[in-house]
Chain A
Amino acid sequence: MHRLFAKQIARATDATGKVDIDQLAALVGGAYDEFDRDRRRTDRSMSLMIEEIDGKNRNLQQLVAERTCELQARERDLQAQNVRFDIAINNMTQGLLLYDSSAGLIVCNERYLAMYGLSREVVKPGLSLRDLVLHRKEMGTFRGDVDEYLAAVMHGVAIGTTSEILTETPDGRSILIVNKPVVGGGWVATHEDVTERRRSEERIRHLAHYDALTDLPNRALFHERLREELARIAPGDQLAVLYIDVDEFKTVNDTLGHLVGDELLKAVGSSLRGCTKSCEFVARLGGDEFAIVKARVKTPADVAHLVARVLKSIRVPFDCLGHRVTTDASIGVAMAPEHGADLDQILKNADLAMYAAKSAGRRTWRFFEPEMDARVKARRNLEIDLRQAIADGALDIHYQPCVNLHDDGITGCEALVRWRHPERGMISPAEFIPIAEETGLINELGEWVLTKACTEAMTWPENIKLAVNVSPVQFRSGSLALKVIAALAASRLPASRLELEITEAVLIRDDDTALAILHQLRGIGVKIALDDFGTGYSSLSYLQRFPFDKIKIDRCFINDIAEPEGSSCIVKAVVNIAAARHMVTIAEGVETLRQHELLRSLGCEEMQGYLFSPAVPAAQIRQLLHSTLDDKAVA
């Protein structure tokens, strides 16, 4: 019997054992109802649950499908990114390796393999750094101790700092290896071929300290070396600094061209290097200036011997691009500590000594002397005074007449500048004109003379010409013709009455600008005279290059014209050449009647000199010209 039914019977049975059928039926019926209800609930809940789980399942399936799509898209992105990453790392100019925290290779790019001629078969992910280096050693692309190299790399990685290692490969390349730790352990290594860069750096370093033309140390290195040597002069020792200036280098450059000039400098540099000892430091300071530092000088004789060697080596004729070039040098020597122990002082003193050697006529050498400094200072003072004098209009112009040798009539006057210094009295143009030329003051001075002389000439009789000297420096400015035109216009002096005297220096350089200016001047009617003819080079080619109106025969030929074996034949030759080219000749410095007579007999046309009149102030020449005119009128 079912346990529940037994209970139901027990419950429906009273104390006498009688079963209440109605109660039993109610209990049994109730139980059936309960079972039915429970079954219905179970059915309902089961089907709902299945429905719900189905729904959840569908949602899940949809979610999985969406996630799968997302993952696929992400994978595609990742692949594209990987391709880009591969392209990027394989097109780097550096070799690249990525290691994990246990020094196992993760990534290696193509450039790395190419740098060391390695195979992808061997260098693959998982390969340890040690095995890679050992492999390279075997293949001959690693030089050095493997353990030491590994220790160096791992030390940097271990302490978490970026390390750089510069290695040399057996085939002579310089490779810079940078190991940089990355987050999460491991590191990235880049290998860069810095061979070219290092060579360039070396070249730049060399260029910074060496002269490109001669490959001698340059001024910077010279100063550096001199400073070092000055700091370690032993007691009792001296240090000599030689400043060497190649004589007439400018002339070589001007006449034979820059290429030959450069060859000459190279040859001189090479000779200097050849004639000096290892303790003597040779440098090129620039232009035609060289220098030597000689340490541990015991006696002046040590320096004299060095100078002798230098001069000897420079005086050897050099073959420069097929030209045999002979040159010489002016050398200044300053001693330290005797002439000063500081760098600037010793350099300045050597320079002064060199200029002293130049002033002494070149081809020689001089020790520095304190007076040299004084002379330079005096010259500088003179420059200051001259500048002031020009500004104040304190200069004066004197005029010397030029005379026709046939009738002794005045044909013109040469304007000559004069300077009366308030303290020193009259100063020779030979002293102040070079200063004016060096400083550029000549432009201002020349313009002033021209303007003032033109104005003055307008007070003279109309047949009297005006001769004005023009310095080669004035030709360099390029505005000379304009200034002449301006002076003529301002004074109203006809161009035909103006004669400009130039020296051969204007033409010595094959200067198209100067020639163009001369032609412009000639074009407006100004006459051009060649001054000081017969001195210097006096190349006849100048006469061909420009058709001068007049040639001035230098006074040195006139001085001895009356002497037996004198210069009369030279004067004659010049007169003949001039006549042939329709040029007038004028002789300078005529002081005697004898000279006067000779010149006339030789066919020279004009003269200038004390015999007739020295240069005199403007008022005086005006008086002279008008009295001469009056004389003529009387005659």
Chain B
Amino acid sequence: MHSQQMIWNSQAGWTPSAVNPEEVSLVFYFGPREMLACGKRYRELREMFPAAHLLGCSTGGQINNSDVTDEEIVAAAISFRSTQLRLIRREINDPLQSRQCGEEIGRALIDDRLAGIFVLSDGLNVNGSELVNGLVDAIGPDIPLTGGLAGDGANFKETLVGGDCAPRPRLVVGIGFYGTAIKIGHGSAGGWDLFGPRRKVTRSAGNVLFELDGEPALDLYERYLGPEDSKGLPGSALLFPIEVHDPEQPDSSVMRTVLAVDRKSRSMTFAGDVPQGWTAQLMRGNFDRLAEGAADAARQARTSLQESGHDDQFSILVSCIGRRLLMGQRSTDETEAAGAELGSDTLRVGFYSYGEISPHAKSGICELHNQTMTVTSFTEVEA
């Protein structure tokens, strides 16, 4: 397997030039919505890599090894020796079709040689939890499934996904890796700190949260954010993600981050389900511990790959927009911490997302995460 990095910016265009572009079978690219929306960058990539599957999305910031940038598109071109790929894309017009969409992609990709799936999805018009559930329903719990929801900075207006097509809204793309050569490692961690009392979800419907302990959820958030940050809703709500768990199964906790707020109904829409009756607790971030979380995710991915004993690796880092909003310039603390774990010779590209997809660190069951750093590492062994 060989991987090479490319950058596009308005001054220099795509640099450096690709080496053996005809051998490249897969290109990941992540960029600001405004840079991708015209479709020109896609067409340039298609011209450069005529034989490759092109998979990309809009973001809340790009990860380029240890750097975090807003003004460029980052891409990685991968040449596999023997691994086969299959790319499936589905339009989605209604979040209620999320599970069905996941099932369809899963069914289209599943076969005996399927070794793993990486998914990119629209970040605003999809119920990520249901999408993942649909995929798991089709492929089962044992095949590694990772990926993320496309982002739109702190705007939450429109996200784009492209899969062998120009990036556009309402698209979900999955790419399957086939064969025994490909090895995929993954890790996911948050590093957020719980704070404040435990609260009960007293009213919710799917991923829409109405009340915590009988009080409108938005009231609570506005109180904690203060008048200044409240103006920045829903983006500013990312500063306070929540951890929810079934009171009967405290180990099953997952983090949820806000996608939208409805000031009229005082409700908040999260990137995954917030079931009524579950326990919820606010979280807040500390730069150091968030960076430690990223390191932990990278360590998990590296450890699972090292078991295969191979070094030539390529990693995709998907981190949550909430982390970026909180850490600001210190966001590089976490990309550096992850890089330190993965090794400086491992090519790392990635993006800040509206939701991360990865198996749960404890249960091993694939879920939609929020506010985590998710690391997926690829390598190829002798077939």
Give me the interface of A with B, judged by CB distance under 8 Å: 4, 7-8, 27, 30-31, 34, 38, 40-42, 44-45, 48-49, 52-53, 56
Contact = CB atoms under 8 A, between A and B. Distances in A.
Contact of B224 (A7, A30, A48, A56): A48
A31 B329 contact: yes
Contact of B197 (A4, A40, A45, A56): A56
Given A34-B328, A48-B224, A53 B196 contact: yes
Given A52-B197, A53-B197, A38 B329 contact: no
A4 B223 contact: no
11 contacts: A7-B332, A8-B329, A30-B328, A34-B328, A38-B326, A41-B225, A41-B284, A45-B196, A45-B284, A48-B223, A52-B196
A56 B224 CA distance: 17
Q: How large is the interface on B (under 10, 10 to 19, 20 to 34, 35 or more residues)?
A: 10 to 19
Interface in B199-245: 223-226, 229, 239-240
The 6 A-B pairs at the shortest CB distance, nearest first, are namely: A34-B328, A49-B196, A56-B197, A44-B226, A31-B329, A45-B224
Contacts of B330: 4, 31, 34
B195 A30 contact: no
Contacts, number: 39
Nearest to B226: A44
Contacts of B226: 40-41, 44
B229 A30 contact: no
Contacts of A41: 225-226, 229, 239, 284
A34 B195 CA distance: 21
B224 A27 contact: no
Contact of A45 (B195, B329, B332): B195
A469 to B, nearest CB: 111
Interface in B168-219: 195-197
A57 to B, nearest CB: 10
A52 B198 CA distance: 11
A30 B326 contact: no
B380 to A, nearest CB: 34
A207 to B, nearest CB: 73
A38 B326 CA distance: 8
A513 to B, nearest CB: 98
A49 B282 CA distance: 10
Contact of B329 (A34, A49, A56): A34
A127 B226 CA distance: 69
B326 A27 contact: no
B291 to A, nearest CB: 11
Contacts of B240: 45
A35 to B, nearest CB: 9
B196 A27 contact: no
Contacts of A49: 195-196
A8 B328 CA distance: 13
A254 B12 CA distance: 154
Nearest to B239: A41
Given A4-B330, A30-B329, 7 more contacts: A7-B332, A34-B329, A34-B330, A41-B239, A45-B195, A45-B240, A45-B284
A266 B88 CA distance: 122
Nearest to A46: B195
A592 B196 CA distance: 148
Contacts of B197: 52-53, 56
A629 to B, nearest CB: 132
A238 B326 CA distance: 125
A27 B328 CA distance: 11
A15 B224 CA distance: 44
Contacts of A42: 284
Nearest to A33: B328
Interface in B298-332: 326, 328-330, 332
A38 B196 CA distance: 17
A31 B328 contact: yes
B329 A44 contact: no
Contacts of A45: 195-196, 224, 240, 284
Q: Which of A7, A8, A41 has the most CB of B within 10 A?
A: A41
Nearest to B327: A34
A56 B229 CA distance: 25
A27 B329 contact: yes
Nearest to A28: B329
Contacts of A56: 197
Contacts of B326: 38
Nearest to A31: B329
A53 B240 CA distance: 17
A4 B224 contact: no
